[in-house]
Structure 1
């Protein structure tokens, strides 16, 4: 057999025959294009959380800067902790919304 007769991977791709599907080993994994990825209620929940984290909470802090001190929060608590609470919730919600059972 000379080098010109060898079947290289590039030659197999161009011969017009479809490739067999790769065995996933029984893991049940599927290709991302075949997964059902509709923008359903999980997506709208994530949009609502983004609205709260990026607009509502900072807007409340901006419009009413003295309101948190009325309930006992200091300046640092107001500007560091209050935005962190919706940010952590937004991160957890994003993980929940993008994982499917």
Structure 2
């Protein structure tokens, strides 16, 4: 490396382009790691569990329900739907839930 450049962050004089050695950054590592996890940002509370629940519903419950639709034609008929209607409507439920949770999370993150 040249004398004017180094791996540390040093202020550069605008007139002559030489660095000043007196104001060089010196890294001083911590003596001990933090004793406990930070609170607030990054914690997993009921909002996280709501998202997990919606994802489990979208990826496990609804596909399982689609698999058993032919056996549940009687129940589907009581709802006023045909089998074709059920195949079209059932995937929309998790789509709307995931969209609602995504919009809610985005609005919540902007307000805080």
Shorter-chain TM-score: what band?
0.5 to 0.7
Match of 1:80 in 2: 88
Of 65, 70, 94, 1:60 maps to 65
Instruction: Provide the aligned C-alpha RMSD in A.
Output: 3.1
* Distance of 2:94 and 2:76 partners within structure 1: 16
Q: Taking CA–CA contacts closer than 8 Å with sequence separation of 6 or more, which of the two structures ends up with the larger relative contact order?
A: 1
Aligned counterpart in structure 2 of residue 5 of structure 1, from 13, 16, 30: 16
Would you say 1:89 and 2:97 are equivalent positions? yes
Equivalent residues of 2:51, 2:101 under 8 A apart: yes
Aligned ranges 1:15-94 → 2 under 5 Å: 15-16=24-25, 36-65=41-70, 66=73, 67-94=75-102
The number of equivalent residue pairs is 78
Structure (1 or 2) with the greater helix fraction? 1
Q: Which has the larger radius of gyration?
A: 2
Secondary structure at 2:104's aligned position in 1? helix
Note the residue ranges of structure 2 that are not aligned, 5 or more in a row.
1-13, 27-39
Deviation at 1:75, TM superposition (A): 2.9
Distance 2:54 2:42 in 1: 19
TM-score for the superposition, normalised by structure 2:
0.52
